Every structure is written in structure tokens, then in C-alpha cells.
Amino acid sequence: MSGDRLDYYKTIDPTKAKKLQQELRQQISLEPLADEPQFVAGADISFNQGSNLMHAGIIILGLPDLNIVARSTVSDKTSFPYIPGLLAFRELPILLKAWDQLEQKPDVLILDGHGIAHPRRMGIATHLGIEIEHPTIGCAKNILTGSHDELSSQKGERVPLIDGSETVGMALRSRTNVNPVYVSPGHRLSSDDAYSVVMKCLTKYKLPRTTRLAHKWANKLRRGEAEEGYFKN
């Protein structure tokens, strides 16, 4: 990612942002994964309310053991406000910094937010996937757009998330008797790939281990309990 590209994100406004989403959506690929993923990563952001100082964490885990392989943490200011549908413009710059810092890239990256389950099919997972040209998955705790039928309460159950006439993802019961998470392909993988990869990252909690660990380190950084940088295990 060039510095010019990052500068562009810092000067863009909501109107231009939506136009860019309409342009970039032409590049979305939902082709199935070619190989079985060996390394999965999770990314998350943490910040204090009212502050524009963001803290990002990306954690790479090995499959199928989910052991920690590496970690990247970065703190930086954001210049874009939180606007539903335009989350990527607020968090992409810092996530790109954290991504570039990784010495080895994972096969798939899971984001806290949506993939194509977005009004213009350009959620943060899809947008980031296109920027880094890597497979990504959106795993959100709440719906942005679309609806779905009732879902069985057992872990592993799923129902399509429908927006208009399109299936944009799924509601997934990631843990028995707990509200579902919303999974959608971001880029360079299919909806079934997204399901299988997220399932592999589930342990005893609602959120995948990737997201949980990324959240943990982003928070440690925010509280000054962790150092910024790249760490290999």
C-alpha cells in the first residue's frame, strides 16, 4: 500500500467514500479458497469514547490448534467519524499499518464487522480484502442490513442473511443458546469458506478466538499494558 493511498483516505469525505465503494465493488471476488488455510488472523480496534486515537491488533493463529503465531499492534489517530456503512474509512488506515507490519501474512483475515453484508456490498472486510488482495471474512455482532429466519439454538447452525433478493451472508450460532454472530465473505473466498473458517476458530465462547485475542491486545495497547510493534512467537 502506497503512502499516497493512505493520504487519500485521510482527505476523503462521505460523498466520495460512497462513490469509491461503488467503484471498488466491481472488484469483489467470491471464488472459493484454493487451498486449506494453515494460518488465520483476527483484527480488531479499541479506543476511548470521544477520542480519535485508535489502537489496532492483528493476531495470527495456526490451524487447527489455534496456537498464537504472531502479533502486530499499532496506535494512530483517525480523521473519519463513525458512520454506519462507512466504517472502513475510519478503521482501514490503521489496519493497513498493522497488516504491513506483519512479516508473514495469514491465509485468511477475520474482521470485526461485515463483508458483503452491507448496503453496497462493501463492508470493512471486503474493502480491506480488496486493498491487501487477500482473503477476508466479516464476523459482526450486529446486523447492518438484511434479515433472516429463526435460527436453531445449537452451535454450528446457520440461516441465510438476506438483503432484498440477495443472500449476503449468514446468521451463525457460534455457541449454544447465545445470540448469533453474522458472518459474510469479505473477498477472495466463498460464503461456505467463510462458514468453515469461522467454525474452525470457535472454542467455548461466542466470538472466534481470532477476534477475542485481537480485541484483548488492542485493549492492552489502549490501556498502556502492551508495546506497539510486531511480535513473533
Partner DNA sequence: GCGACAG
Partner DNA sequence: ATCTTGTCGC
Binding-site ranges for DNA (CB under 7 A): 44-49, 82, 84-88, 112-114, 118, 123-125, 138, 140-144, 176-177, 215, 218-219, 222
For DNA, which is the closer residue by CB, 141 or 232? Answer: 141
For DNA, which is the closer residue by CB, 88 or 194? Answer: 88
Q: Please report, as a single letter, which amino acid is at residue 20.
A: L
Closest among 197, 92, 83, 79 to 144, alpha carbons compared: 83
Three-class SS of residue 166?
A: strand
> In angstroms, what is the minimal distance from the CB of 228 to DNA?
16
Distances 120 to 20, 89, 215 between C-alpha atoms, Å: 11, 14, 27
Closest among 78, 75, 73, 47 to 58, alpha carbons compared: 73
Q: Please report, as a single letter, which amino acid is at residue 149.
A: D
> In angstroms, what is the minimal distance from the CB of 34 to DNA?
26
For DNA, which is the closer residue by CB, 3 or 224? Answer: 224
Burial class (CB in 10 A: 0-12, 13-18, 19+), 11: exposed
For DNA, which is the closer residue by CB, 45 or 197? Answer: 45
> In angstroms, what is the minimal distance from the CB of 218 to DNA?
7
Contact criterion met (CB below 8 Å) for 180 and 174:
yes
For DNA, which is the closer residue by CB, 27 or 38? Answer: 27
Whether the link from the prior residue into 208 is cis, omega within 30° of 0, is: no
> In angstroms, what is the minimal distance from the CB of 112 to DNA?
5
> In angstroms, what is the minimal distance from the CB of 177 to DNA?
5
Annotated binding residues: 44, 112
Nine-digit cell at 177? 443458546
Annotated binding residues for Mg(2+): 44, 112
